[in-house]
Amino acid sequence: MSDVLLRPGSRGVMLLCLDALRLDADSDGPGGPGESAWSANAARLLGHARDRSWSIAHVISRRPRPGETPWRPLRGLGPEPSEPVYHREQPSAFSSPELRAALTGGPPPEVVLCGVSAQGSALATALDALRSWVRLTIAADAAWMPNTEMRGLEGLLELQRLEMAQGCIRLAETRALTRPWRDLRVLPGGRS
């Protein structure tokens, strides 16, 4: 598949960091679901998104309860003060009414997803993206997903390949999303 199809354009891109916040008292230490290469790739993708002025949002499973330790970011994935944190009500990131409102009122952005898929949230988000006609790219090496969920996503991609489902979902590696590239210019009536 062409890399051009795997990289979103810089205009109209939103990076969603999924469940990259947790309640642990020490989220700066080692740990987390398989925290290793995926978290380093997610941090690199987040830095790239900030450098390219993508919209960035963080989605977590629920609001902290009274008396709980406040949410803490996984290493390198903390939100900046200008980046909203949405609370999802169901496994899908799009179950957040505030996130849905942010995505309406204009051309739909390309959404790039990274982070932790807790409770099947990456697959649920992909299914909601299909229903909503939102183009979703999952940075596969910048997200932690259980094997069963990854197989579900691969099945969804196969349905798209067979044209049995609309083609709005992609898997891409971080290097394909972050490597330098230039936009093509269309010149009327000739070559440049």
Q: Domain extents for the chain?
A: 3-24+31-178
* pTM more than 0.75: yes
Using alpha carbons, select from 99, 114, 111, 110 the residue that is nearest to residue 145.
114
DSSP 153: H
Tell me whether strands 135-144 and 85-87 are parallel, antiparallel or unpaired. Answer: unpaired
- Residue 50 burial (CB count, 10 A): 14
- Separation of alpha carbons 56 and 3, rounded Å: 22
CATH number of 3-24+31-178: 3.40.50.850
Return the structure tokens found at 157: 């991609």
- Residue-level pLDDT, tens digit, the chain, 192 residues: 333 333 344 457 899 999 887 665 434 444 445 457 888 999 999 999 999 888 999 998 876 677 777 777 888 888 999 999 998 889 899 999 999 888 887 777 789 999 888 678 888 898 888 888 788 899 989 988 888 888 888 888 887 788 766 677 888 889 988 877 554 455 565 554
- Separation of alpha carbons 114 and 13, rounded Å: 13
- Please name the helix (run of DSSP H) or strand (run of DSSP E) that holds residue 103, with its range, or none: helix 97-103
Q: Are 79 and 73 in contact (CB under 8 A)?
A: yes
pLDDT in the model for residue 113: 92
Using alpha carbons, select from 179, 187, 178 the residue that is nearest to residue 42.
178
